[in-house]
Amino acid sequence: MTIEQAPHTALITGANHGIGLALTRRMLSEGWEVIALIRSAFTEDDPLIRGALSSRQLRIYKADLTDFAQLKLALQAITSHETQIDLLFNNAGGSFPELSFSKQGRELHYELQTVVPYILTMELKPLILRGKLLTVINTSSNAFMMKRRFDPATLERPAKFAKLTGPYADTKLALSLWTSELAPALAAEGIMIRSADPGGNNTMRSGKKSGIPFWLRPITRMFFPEPTHGAGLLYQAALGEHSRKSGVFLIKNQVTPLKFTAYSRDILANVQAIYQQEFRPAGSPS
């Protein structure tokens, strides 16, 4: 008698557009179950997505991730209805066109790309520990590699704004720094966490304001690959040759040293404080 193994389950944030959608489609086509944590709906003209929704291979939970009230409700639903998570992709992000702030009062890139991935990792850890792969992949960027200055004190409320090279790059760097700092503690529990750059991808949407500088837009349209490229790099970061390494930062699937590591501990302490003091309900266990 053969015993069928349950399919692996991946939770993907930002699963309905760009790299996240390409990653979702790849995982579904390979038989994975996918939990999508998204703000808006999937396109209705995708047969693979429609079929997966119908069969419950794809399950949707909705929230604006930068709104802690919505995020709490979505996480409560996930932890109530899902039994395990083998692989968590903290993928949601974006380059915004102007300085904006979350409902909690922090700069929007910082909330979405640095703080929320930490919250998701902590809140979903019990489900990850029930899974088989015990892996977290944080979508980072190589946009910060050319930076000569970095001041973590400005992450929450920057005094000035620059597209791509400003808060977007700074908060992706902060994400990779806390990932590296947290990795030993998670590894002690059996969880591997890494950050990975999905490379340049053409994820531009017509009619939507973009945080991509105007000079880079035609280059993006003409020369950048489709989002399947970035999805492939995230897939390799999770399941490829570095699958047993924790805390590393990957560019083109190669382990790459991080800059400004002297700030790693402070950044981790800051996101931990936000999580404990603002997100977790009063009196809840740590």
For 16-53, what is each residue's pLDDT tens digit? 999 999 999 999 999 999 999 999 999 889 999 999 99
Q: How much is the CA Rg of the chain, to the nearest whole Å?
A: 18
Average pLDDT, the chain: 91
- Residue 123 in any domain: the answer is yes
Tens-digit pLDDT profile for residues 190-205: 999 999 999 875 554 5
For residue 103, the number of C-alpha atoms closer than 13 Å in the C-beta half-sphere is 10
Task: For Cα atoms 218, 221, 226, give the angle at the middle one, nearest 5 degrees.
Answer: 155
Nearest to 29 by CA among 50, 5, 52: 52
Name the band, by pLDDT with cuts 50, 70 and 90, for residue 247: very high
> How many domains are there within the chain?
1
Residues linked to residue 9 through DSSP beta bridges, in sequence order? 33
pLDDT > 80? residue 149:
yes
Per-residue pLDDT, averaged over 244-269, amounts to: 98
Tens-digit pLDDT profile for residues 216-243: 555 556 555 588 999 999 999 999 999 9
- Residue 4 in any domain: the answer is no
Contact 169, 147 (CB under 8 A): yes
pLDDT > 50? residue 129:
yes
Residue 116 is part of which domain span? 9-279
For residue 20, the number of C-alpha atoms closer than 13 Å in the C-beta half-sphere is 26
Residues linked to residue 79 through DSSP beta bridges, in sequence order? none
CATH code of the domain covering residue 46: 3.40.50.720
- Residue 284 in any domain: the answer is no
- Residue 121 in any domain: the answer is yes
* Rounded-to-integer distance, Cα 106 and Cα 87, Å: 28
Give me the pLDDT at residue 214, please.
Answer: 45
- Residue 250 in any domain: the answer is yes
Number of neighbouring beta carbons within 10 Å of residue 97? 13
Q: Locate all alpha helices (DSSP H) within the chain, ordered by sequence.
A: 18-29, 47-55, 68-81, 108-110, 116-123, 125-130, 167-188, 217-223, 227-239, 264-274
> Higher model confidence: residue 97 or residue 281?
97
Q: First and final CA of the chain: distance in angstroms?
A: 44
Name the band, by pLDDT with cuts 50, 70 and 90, for residue 138: very high
Contact 188, 3 (CB under 8 A): no
SS3 222: helix
* Rounded-to-integer distance, Cα 18 and Cα 30, Å: 19
Nearest to 170 by CA among 103, 91, 263: 263
- Residue 13 in any domain: the answer is yes
Task: For Cα atoms 110, 156, 175, give the angle at the middle one, nearest 5 degrees.
Answer: 35
Share of the chain above pLDDT 70, in %: 87
Give me the pLDDT at residue 7, please.
Answer: 86
- Residue 2 in any domain: the answer is no
- Residue 1 in any domain: the answer is no
**pTM for the full model?**
0.91
Nearest to 175 by CA among 104, 116, 246, 254: 116
* Rounded-to-integer distance, Cα 66 and Cα 12, Å: 16
Give me the pLDDT at residue 3, please.
Answer: 40
